[in-house]
Amino acid sequence: MIAVTGASGNIGGELLRILSEAGERVRALSRNPPSGATLDGVEWVRADLRERDTLAAAFSGADRLFLLTGNVEGMVPAQKDAVAAATAAGIEHVVKVSALGASDHSSSVIGIWHYIVEEVLKRADVDWTILRPHVFMQNILDQRKVILEHGEVYSPSGDAAVPMIDTRDVAAVAASVLTEPGHAGARYTLTGPQPVSWSKVAIILSNVLGRTVTYVPETENDAWHRLHRAGAPPWLIGAQLSLATYQRRGGGTNIVTTTVEEVTGKAARSFTTFARDHAADFADPP
């Protein structure tokens, strides 16, 4: 049995679908399990990684764990508790979604947080695999209202070209790693098939949606105020601005890997494919 945390999100939901179609037994963990969910082989249970007392029962009987939480305050203790509970429950393999550039010297607090959990996982008495995806294409959906109403898309990343990845491809890699041998002790960097600049993002969206979308480069101050108005906490805004700084400098943030295809046998989705598949999401404001 595979226990899946983050089961209600983009990656987790796609992972459930893939595992169900593959005939796997899955226990989907959620703070608020959906009623009437019907995927063959998928059992929903209430569990909260912030409530360690719920984890023993949630992990009981599982031999593999997919570990994913949002980048939120309290992520580190929650994931550390999950690793400890998984080890105590006899889980044999933990697959953790981390972040590109996770390290002890990252200027982004998110990179430091993920590094801390990675180190805890590597010291645990359990097989592990770490997935380090690049920026998610789905993050652009956060701007769908302004794209619809004003025909604009914003970023403080300047002219940087970034090999963003579709969350569906992250889920596909996770499914392969969870169900096939040979991935223990691996740390995989996951990217899309080519770097895409924000100017190119605007062009692709324009072509797919049949209306003009313009890229508006932001200063860091502009981006701070936009994200603050959207309700992002200061620590998250700082982390996103640090990432934008990395991207403007180039280097490691524009390197493409072929890991998605090597692990799954299928090439990673392009941004054009993402835009076409999500065109309806830009048709009406959220």
Q: Is the pLDDT of residue 135 over 80?
A: yes
Q: Taking each helix axis from N to C terminus, what angle separates 10-21 and 167-179, rounded to the nearest 10 degrees?
A: 50
Of the pLDDT bands very low, low, confident and very high (cuts 50, 70, 90), residue 35 is confident
Provide the percentage of residues in the chain whose pLDDT is more than 90. Answer: 84
| Mean local confidence (pLDDT), 215-234 | 94
**More reliable by pLDDT, 270 or 33:** 270
| CA dihedral sign, ordered 143, 148, 149, 150 | positive
Residue 276 lies in a domain: yes
Higher per-residue confidence, 108 vs 37: 108
Residue 33 has pLDDT above 70, yes or no: yes
If you average pLDDT over residues 263-275, what whole number do you get? Answer: 98
281 with 150, same domain: the answer is yes
Residues 116 and 205 grouped into a single domain: no
**Least reliable range by pLDDT among 12-26, 127-141, 236-250:** 236-250
Read off the CATH number of the domain in which 96 is found.
Answer: 3.40.50.720
Note whether residue 232 is domain-resident. yes
What's the CATH number where 277 sits?
Answer: 3.90.25.10
pLDDT above 70 (res 59): yes
Place of tokens 């009406």: 284
Q: What local confidence, expressed as pLDDT, does residue 107 receive?
A: 85
Domain that holds residue 66: 2-133
**C-alpha span between 94 and 282 (Å, rounded):** 36
Judge if 112 and 78 occupy the same domain: yes
Q: In what order do the strands lie in the sheet with 42-46?
A: 42-46, 26-30, 2-4, 64-67, 93-97, 127-133, 187-190
Q: Mind listing the pLDDT tens digit for each residue in 151-201?
A: 999 999 999 999 999 999 999 999 999 999 999 999 999 999 999 999 999
Average model confidence (pLDDT) across the chain: 94
28 and 58 in a common domain: yes
Exposed, middle or buried by CB within 10 Å (0-12, 13-18, 19+), for 113?
buried
Number of domains in the chain: 2
What percent of the chain stands above pLDDT 70?
98
pLDDT at 246: 86
pLDDT value of residue 285: 59
Taking the model in full, what pTM does it have? 0.95
Do 102 and 232 belong to one domain?
Answer: no
47 shares its domain with 62: yes
Same domain (yes/no): 276, 149: yes
pLDDT tier at 282, thresholds 50, 70, 90: confident
Residues 6+ apart with CB under 8 A from 188: 129, 130, 131, 132, 173, 177, 257, 259, 263
pLDDT interval class at 38 (50, 70, 90): confident
Find the distance separating the first CA and the last CA of the chain, reported in whole Å. Answer: 36
Q: Which of 62-66, 141-145, 227-231, 278-282 has the highest mean pLDDT?
A: 62-66
Q: Which of 92, 116, 133 is the last residue of a domain?
A: 133
Residue 186 lies in a domain: no
The full DSSP string for 121-138 is: HHHSSSEEEEEEE--BGG
Q: In 3D, which of 101, 94, 131 has the Cα closest to residue 115?
A: 101
Instruction: Check pLDDT > 70 for residue 286.
Output: no
Position 54 scores a pLDDT of: 87
